[in-house]
């Protein structure tokens, strides 16, 4: 499931539940993937930026830098400039329950 939240145009954001099923069965990490979308940037110039839950972590063997980017239950993402906070409240085999707070 993907949720979309408006920030300040032209920048918006979204979160997406990631699960190791079907085509993604070999995912290195599951959880809520948070990303920012800059609609003013041209394709190929970084219009989508993944927000890494563990930016300083070394990926597990066979995984790449952003493979561990999803946020897990108990973790949160805050964008103070946009006034948005995403709290991952819980998770099960079907997805996560998140709370999106706009200030």
Angle at 49 between CA 44 and CA 55, to 5 degrees: 130
3-state secondary structure (DSSP) of residue 68: helix
CB 33 within 8 A of CB 18: yes
For 6-55, write each residue's pLDDT tens digit.
444 445 566 666 665 555 667 677 788 888 877 777 777 777 888 899 88
pTM of the predicted model as reported, rounded to 2 decimal places? 0.74
For 86-95, write each residue's pLDDT tens digit.
999 998 877 8
């Amino acid at each position: 499931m993907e949720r979309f939240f408006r920030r300040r145009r032209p920048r918006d954001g979204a979160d997406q539940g990631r699960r190791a099923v079907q085509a993604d069965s070999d995912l290195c990490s599951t959880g809520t993937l948070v990303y920012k979308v800059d609609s003013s940037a041209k394709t190929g110039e970084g219009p989508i930026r993944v927000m890494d839950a563990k930016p300083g972590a070394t990926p597990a063997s066979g995984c790449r830098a952003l493979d561990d980017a999803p946020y897990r239950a108990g973790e949160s993402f805050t964008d103070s400039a946009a006034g948005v906070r995403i709290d991952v409240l819980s998770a099960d085999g079907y997805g996560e329950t998140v709370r999106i707070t706009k200030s």
